[in-house]
Structure 1
Amino acid sequence: MGAATIDRKAAAADGMPVESYANVMRGVVKLTKVLEDGRQQIVGLQFAPDFLGRLFTPDSAVTAEAASDVDLCRVSKSGLERLIAANPKLERRLMEQTLRELDEAREWMVTLGRKTAAEKVASFLYLIATHLDPSADSEQKGRKFILPLTRGDVADFLGLTIETVSRQLSRLRAEKVIAISAVTQVDVPDLERLRKRCG
């Protein structure tokens, strides 16, 4: 195994041969698909301690790119597949993550397909607030975090325009559901109040 810090360049590209896997130790990785005409869609976000990569496939199905400063712990494809064969607990852990990601993807389909713009932005902020720091106390009333995506990326992820995202952020700030400082630092004083805005 080896540790690696990656910048905002792609760690893996759609269609690229899979040679290694990684665990996200710190930061946020965005997963994207690019259409033939160059349009890009963010299809997921991964946080510590998520497993990055798809097992038992020869090529990557998405592009993985750092959305913030990211620390990864890498392991070779052959090495991990040998570990899984010898360790049923590891196989179970990876299966549990896969099923959790499937559940989250289904929930996100509801967010994109049925929620209002205000609910989408609140849902995105709640996702970041509850996933960015896995060591945070679950009883903690509020959270503070650096927004890992640009407003353009947030708009892409939510299927909204940048103007709509900015308008909804301003509305949440005016209603004191969030505070924003230094452009990207978000303070959620009451996580439950934000959750109720998610629809």
Structure 2
Amino acid sequence: MNTAVKLSHNDHVPDCRDCPIRHRAVCARCEAEELERLEEIKYYRTYPAGQTVVWAGDRMDFVASVVSGIATLSQTMEDGRTQMVGLLLPSDFIGRPGRDDAAYDVTATTDLIICCFRKRPFESLMEKTPHIGQRLLEMTLDELDAAREWMLLLGRKTAREKIASLIAIIARRDASLNLKGKDKSMVFDLPLTREAMADYLGLTLETVSRQITALRKDGVIQLEGKRHVTIPDFERLLGETGDDSDGGYLV
């Protein structure tokens, strides 16, 4: 049963101008008048951890931005096996204008809030508002780069490099959303359980736990509990990812 809750403005949801993902979301370049048009077609939904937002093949009458929390993109194969193919972090976009059906299962990994836009009005607004189309193109190209990065991560990197890479990706996003630099210690909560990390990276739970412990013992990361992470030196963490200084793979 779908337990998503639709929120109204009486539920203290953020105004577009005060939105925590405003500077990264699809509306990042919108001017005041354009934001007012978006306000007219938007609504919020919340999903508890583990709830499916949409199933692959379902008809979607909305597109959305992740406001808080994290979701996974996954695909089920004919024999029933499921492969996680992507993560949706705050400011990431769900759905595609011009496409009626969902391409992947979208599942809330943590408690999730998404800002939804009715699809047909959003598509119409895109035609009249170049800022939205331009920003969506930028985000799509970023998503393509991320997909290529994950092909490399899953295919060539060691277990330690995979864990370091995932932590670095989450750390960069947290810094970007909170407008923090990387010159100081970075502190954040991992949004994924170790089981979810293992599933996403194609590793066993034991391997994930062992590699996280090794990174902690080597001083690359500091842990409080299982999820509260401090990165004393981000450049050192990057050195553990297997990427060179230009972002390429070290061979």
TM bracket, shorter-chain basis: over 0.9
Is the 2:45–2:114 Cα contact (8 Å) retained in structure 1? yes
Where in structure 2 are there 5+ consecutive unaligned residues?
A: 1-41, 243-251
2:46 partner amino acid: T
User: Which of the numbers 146, 152, 160 marks the counterpart of 1:110?
Assistant: 152
- Normalising by structure 2, report the TM-score: 0.75
Is the 1:27–1:132 Cα contact (8 Å) retained in structure 2? no
Aligned length: 199
Is the 1:32–1:62 Cα contact (8 Å) retained in structure 2? yes
Q: Which residue of 2 aligns with 1:125?
A: 167
1:52 partner amino acid: I
User: Which of the numbers 212, 229, 239 marks the counterpart of 1:186?
Assistant: 229
> Once the 2 structures are TM-superposed, how far is the Cα of residue 5 of structure 1 from its aligned partner?
2.1
> Once the 2 structures are TM-superposed, how far is the Cα of residue 140 of structure 1 from its aligned partner?
4.1
Query: Following the alignment from structure 1 to structure 2, what is the Cα–Cα distance between the partners of residues 125 and 24?
Result: 19
Query: Following the alignment from structure 1 to structure 2, what is the Cα–Cα distance between the partners of residues 153 and 20?
Result: 27
Query: Following the alignment from structure 2 to structure 1, what is the Cα–Cα distance between the partners of residues 88 and 185?
Result: 22
Q: Which residue of 1 aligns with 2:19?
A: none
Q: Which residue of 2 aligns with 1:13?
A: 55
Structure showing greater radius of gyration is 2
Which protein has greater RCO, CA pairs closer than 8 Å, 6+ apart? 1
C-alpha RMSD of the superposition: 1.4
Query: Following the alignment from structure 1 to structure 2, what is the Cα–Cα distance between the partners of residues 80 and 149?
Result: 31
2:210 partner amino acid: R
Greater fraction strand: 1
Q: Which residue of 2 aligns with 1:166?
A: 209
Correspondence list, 1:3-152, <5 A? 3-8=44-49, 9-133=51-175, 134-152=177-195
Is the 1:47–1:132 Cα contact (8 Å) retained in structure 2? no
> Once the 2 structures are TM-superposed, how far is the Cα of residue 94 of structure 1 from its aligned partner?
0.5
Query: Following the alignment from structure 2 to structure 1, what is the Cα–Cα distance between the partners of residues 102 and 62?
Result: 10
Q: Which residue of 1 aligns with 2:249?
A: none
Where in structure 1 are there 5+ consecutive unaligned residues?
A: none
Query: Following the alignment from structure 2 to structure 1, what is the Cα–Cα distance between the partners of residues 174 and 81?
Result: 27
Moved more, 64-73 or 115-124: 64-73
Large movers: runs of 4+ above 3 Å: none
Using the aligned pairs only, state the percent identity. Answer: 41
- Normalising by structure 1, report the TM-score: 0.94
- Secondary structure at the aligned position of 2:152 is classed as helix
Query: Following the alignment from structure 1 to structure 2, what is the Cα–Cα distance between the partners of residues 118 and 29?
Result: 24
Query: Following the alignment from structure 1 to structure 2, what is the Cα–Cα distance between the partners of residues 16 and 41?
Result: 18
2:56 partner amino acid: D
Is the 1:28–1:132 Cα contact (8 Å) retained in structure 2? no
- Secondary structure at the aligned position of 1:132 is classed as helix
Query: Following the alignment from structure 1 to structure 2, what is the Cα–Cα distance between the partners of residues 14 and 192?
Result: 38
- Secondary structure at the aligned position of 2:83 is classed as strand
The reply to whether residue 2 of structure 1 matches residue 46 of structure 2 is no
> Once the 2 structures are TM-superposed, how far is the Cα of residue 132 of structure 1 from its aligned partner?
3.2
Query: Following the alignment from structure 2 to structure 1, what is the Cα–Cα distance between the partners of residues 160 and 119?
Result: 42
Q: Which residue of 1 aligns with 2:199?
A: 156
2:99 partner amino acid: T
Query: Following the alignment from structure 1 to structure 2, what is the Cα–Cα distance between the partners of residues 175 and 194?
Result: 11
